[in-house]
Structure 1
Amino acid sequence: MKLKKKFLRLAVVIFAMTAVAHAQQSHHPTAPAAPTQNTASTVAGDTLYARPGQLVSAADGARLNFYCMGSGSPTVVFDSGWEDWAPAWSKVQPEVAKWTRTCSYDRAGAGFSDPGPMPRTSVRIAQELRTALHNAGVKGPYILVGSAFGGDNVRTFADLYMDEVAGLVMVDADPDELEPQTMQEETHRGHAGIISQLRDCRNAIAEHKPLPVMKSRPGQPQRTCAQQFFRGLPEAEWSPELNAKLLEIAQTRVAMYDAYISEMEQTPQDEAWLQQHQRSFGGRPIRVLTSGNHGVGHLERKPPDTPEHLKYEQETTAAQARWLSLSSNAKQIFARNSSEYIQFDEPETVINAIREVYDQAEKPVAAGAATSERAPGSVFRDCPECPEMVVVPA
């Protein structure tokens, strides 16, 4: 989810039934109503994310929850948007895992991961991710995939550890520090109200009180604060089992609210850090996916095309295009029939972009193979000694 203007931030959440929202006004976990639509492949596969995967220690001792699947290199590593965690990649990761290793994870405090130290800056998040990957035996190079706020984190990772990065895919990622100053200031002003709402929800859970009902927009059902995660719970693209578990987490985990509050509070510092430490990717491939509907969780709930909204989307698209200057091998890809959640609405667009980066990325030298005088951690293009890719069954 995006850290954007308040009216866009609230617009991303819709719900299948009004009755579900009224049923969730207690902090006690209750299974949501069945989603209005589903596919057999989604139902069969997304329950993986309804239980912990591999819990791996980060530098500070907190354990991060990973879902790694597939074989091959470079490894594709996914980071999610604000108020999202690993299930955001449930329609993309299993497909990419058919031709290389993939890892999605829950940031500290979110999902099944342990709470991490404060404040939750992108630098800390990137450091924790790298340490946990190494502790899990998942060494680079990595293709980093970031959605929304996750884009801040993967760019920070790359700026810190460029030698371990093979490529980058930005999925309608937040380009806040590249936007006009007036847009940045408006975004930061809107954060105060969002943080206040989130803190009210956090306190209700901590004190075992009924969850606050959030203000509803015209034509939308009321919802509790626990139903705001991702683009709204229950999510029609997910199985009842996954929806029930995610809602249970959102209704009970105080640490998750603390983490997301801190992440939002730290965004001005994160943006300043990225401006000061931006590095060239050289020839590493970068693909920038743009929906033109940044901040819109569902197309049917898209705000009217007012001059203000059109200007906002145009400036966001232009800001995302500025990432193309980071690499000599960069391209912007438009997903015009998608909300900001391109990985839900056009998963093939995301999968194809990752495949394109994978095909053009430098591959690591196999263990024991002859090396050049390049520094440790370097990656090599068209390596004939590299092991064959292992494809997992479809």
Structure 2
Amino acid sequence: MIKEMLIPIKNCKLYAKLVGKNNGKPTIIMESGYGDYSKAWDSVIAEISMLSNVLIYDRAGLGKSEPSPNSRTSSEMVKELKALLIKAKIEPPYILVGHSFGGVNLRLYATEYPNEVCGLILVDSTPEDYIERLLPTMTKEFQQAYNKQFVYEGNYDEFMESLKQLKESKRQLDVPLVVLSAGKKAHYSEKSQMLWNEMQKEISKTSSKGQFLIAENSTHYIQNDKPEVVVNAIKALVDNI
């Protein structure tokens, strides 16, 4: 089954696609990284859709979705995702899968609506203290490039506000949580890579049921470099629910 939708929420319309089979398992919700849209999951969507219904969507202003007048912070994006799920009549519970900045949004969703989430998979997601702890270990050139990238959806201040929102949220979870860490990030020194893995491991401890895995030899887009790692993590969660 493939169902494409343009869902009207409060101030805009969001593009979403529902694929897969309704086999009584929870719907899998996929959230892309900063500036990315639903095509970021093309490498794994066919296999994941064999496990259950899967919803991929474009955040406001990206892909086929209309821009939103609301601020581009995680809390606003979580509200928009919630509105999308209600309008599309996609019932909880959900398994949430977030890549990079998408992981920030979905961690916030899981703390905001804990009764709706039965599993969370974070694919090399952004730690809330990335700017303070990890960015200073990178080269000046990397830091400058990093700070200049915020032109696609939220600006730098909105991105910082999103990390602050995550810090201030009630973070301890009680759902199965799988944290996948890229083991070979581009432009990372050995020291930075070790720190990145350590910070990812810390995220796994935000749930009483956390699990931490390193995708060896994978860059930031684990779903492209090591798609089987992402698929297997989702499959293990689906099988145990």
Structure-2-length-normalised TM-score = 0.89
2:234 is matched with 354
Pick from 134, 138, 148: which aligns with 1:183? 134
Secondary structure, in 3 states, of the residue corresponding to 1:93? helix
RMSD: 2.3
Verify the 8 A CA contact 1:121 1:263 in the aligned structure 2. no
Q: Deviations for 1:96-122, whole angstroms, at most 9, x for unmatched residues?
A: 111211001100000000111231000
TM-aligned CA distance change 1:91 to 1:67, over 3 Å: same
**2:36 is the counterpart of 1:81:** no
**CA deviation after TM superposition for structure 1 residue 263, in Å:** 4.8
Pick from 10, 13, 21: which aligns with 1:63? 13
Secondary structure, in 3 states, of the residue corresponding to 1:77? strand
* Runs of 5+ unmatched residues, structure 1: 1-47, 199-256, 297-302, 362-394
What letter corresponds to residue 77 of structure 2 in structure 1?
I
1:288 is matched with 179
Matches within 5 A, 1:54-203: 54-58=5-9, 60-70=10-20, 71-72=22-23, 73-175=25-127, 177-179=128-130, 181-183=132-134, 190=144, 191-195=146-150, 198=151
Higher relative contact order (CA 8 A, sep 6+): 1
More strand by share: 2
**2:192 is the counterpart of 1:331:** no
Secondary structure, in 3 states, of the residue corresponding to 1:91? helix
Between the aligned partners of 2:37 and 2:70, the Cα distance in structure 1 is 18
**CA deviation after TM superposition for structure 1 residue 358, in Å:** 1.6
Between the aligned partners of 1:189 and 1:269, the Cα distance in structure 2 is 18
What letter corresponds to residue 265 of structure 1 in structure 2?
D
Between the aligned partners of 1:118 and 1:313, the Cα distance in structure 2 is 35
**Identity %, equivalent residues:** 32
**CA deviation after TM superposition for structure 1 residue 264, in Å:** 3.8
Pick from 165, 185, 188: which aligns with 1:273? 165
Between the aligned partners of 1:183 and 1:291, the Cα distance in structure 2 is 15
1:312 is matched with 192
Between the aligned partners of 1:79 and 1:151, the Cα distance in structure 2 is 7
Q: Deviations for 1:310-347, whole angstroms, at most 9, x for unmatched residues?
A: 22111111111112222232211121122111101111
Q: Which has the larger radius of gyration?
A: 1
* Runs of 5+ unmatched residues, structure 2: none
Matches within 5 A, 1:3-42: none
Aligned residues: 234
**CA deviation after TM superposition for structure 1 residue 185, in Å:** 6.3
Between the aligned partners of 1:185 and 1:116, the Cα distance in structure 2 is 33
TM-aligned CA distance change 1:320 to 1:88, over 3 Å: same
TM-aligned CA distance change 1:194 to 1:186, over 3 Å: farther
